[in-house]
Structure 1
């Protein structure tokens, strides 16, 4: 699973999850039926064992509580080492529905589309081992506790604690890795939430089989566009001797280093080139195809400058360690999987044939060994036993090439025509959009 683009969108965890659904605008804070005063609510939050109210701010007339919640590093040893997980609660009324919004990375600061749609309270949570939610000391360096199950247990404890305050229906949501995280929570603790709406959530259920991704890159867009992109990608490696110095100059100017992760500028350059077509489709659309230069006729400057604006994304030490996107790559390397593309059109021009995998962009201490069992289990459970689950994907999004298949138990999947990693319900055809919105409101018990 490739994901430098996740920085660009903060993954879709922010981009798609915060997309506008055409939801209702919150009523004034003084409207009839509002819950107890902010002071009373704060006291109730502070009475929850392990919960700390860090601060309270106003957001659109409602209190926004910044919280920390004490969690076990290992939920199998609840009385062992612990850490504080960051969260926020945007509270409107205790009888309104509540949206549990996980970006899958650091603490998301925006409002989820689902929250707008059903005029809900919103709980946002930071994924363990990201930013301020990383254990201190030796426990923070024990990456064996950075797992799907442990994060699901974090969210389970937080959900049960805050359900003592927010009494309405609870719906989980997120996009990309956030959508995956919401799905994993539902699989391991299906009694916590009343429904889940996951956007562009990849499902690499069998990491050894990447035919879904290969098929995507053989069919996305038009043949002319695909051929042009492949030609540019190949030419970037053919002209390595003249383009690598440009890359090195850019890296020096930006203060980028590669010693702890990819190792050399040559490896870092090749990795960025390999990711280029993926990122083009992830963040762009077919409307960008006419901008692709003629690979054979373009000058070095034209080729390099266009690439930097269309998918050539640099992976550097500064953004890949413990304080950056490194925790994601650790999960990809050990549980989530990745797209191990063949790049047949690049035969003969690659210097590092085994580089395109997540351990390549991790410091040595964070690397791990892949185990398929958890994600395969989640895939089977969603397909056969999941209830009230909705998945929204983008037709032209490479992350959507391997999808979750929902069960027949009041669960649904929609694909937004022509959409990239920013696919949302608002972009569905009118009839499907109406159907999806109606389903979500029924789940949330709102009109």
Structure 2
């Protein structure tokens, strides 16, 4: 800088409070940029209550946890250096840009602080990023920032939180994010149903690429915490995998929790797999076709568990799977910050939906890391996201399979968070790496 350089401060979330408070203490700053700031330690604003769900990453109990670490005692909350909305004077404060996430418990902090500054004659501007949750700003990588600021701003905030609304939004977001790939699959897409008992039929989609071979076939289970997502959310990536591998991929619409808790969603996966194996020629295979299972996240667990139940499978492809409901790994402890999107708090919410009780966590079918025998389990490809609380699940499960003499390969995707796999419209490079790894693995079998 030189004598004429304008100097400002900036910060996001807790850092925005620090930046704002500095402006009250140091009077010769020229500007401030406050992103998703927390400007008050009391929960009096409507947005704190409106987005008080773990799906929004920082509900009140998470905010309180951060507060208990940050402050010495309750008296600190009344200090205007900490709760800057308590300040009475705004003299000499510099111009301020507010960046606000629409689906953020802290949203109204910015609205109220802007109002105070405007009333004091301080120049301000507020930019509302629509359809995005609190930690969008620091999501690692250019793709995550694009995901937050460019795509999700197309979606208005839900008026009320409902599970149905979350599922619909998940499908709409995936459709928008991946829209540039619509129409690129030139093969055949066939909707079918598999009857698993007298009253239940499980929908499946059979994707047959234009240049299909009968060498391999894959049965795929989507992720979404056993609660969200669908065949539709994962259609683009499954289309791309079918094209790249020249194989039939079958996407399964297993029943979701909490309406259908464990073991229903797993039993659905097992029974669909069993029936496809028994009637494989009806799905485009022949007697020599090698058949495997694949899945991401929650679907990765289903795929892995199916391999312990059904011993006739030839391979498995597990994308950042959840293999132990106990948690407690180093990565589980490391990636607790909201910017990683999937946090222990979010995992806890999914778990409460997926399982009936604590005893289910101890069932090896649900926590496959608890298995002691790996007899008949097929070769496995692991795809792992580096910045993922579930990362070490894959490391631990690979180690067990290797010890049992099972062929494995693990591909680590650097500097990427958990949810990249179903979003090739944003994480194009990471998905291309994944597709190439899957193709190489399947070709090697």
TM range (shorter): 0.3 to 0.5
| Larger Cα-atom Rg | 2
Q: Is the strand fraction higher in 1 or 2?
A: 2
TM-score (norm 2): 0.46
Larger relative contact order (Cα-Cα within 8 Å, sequence gap ≥ 6): 1
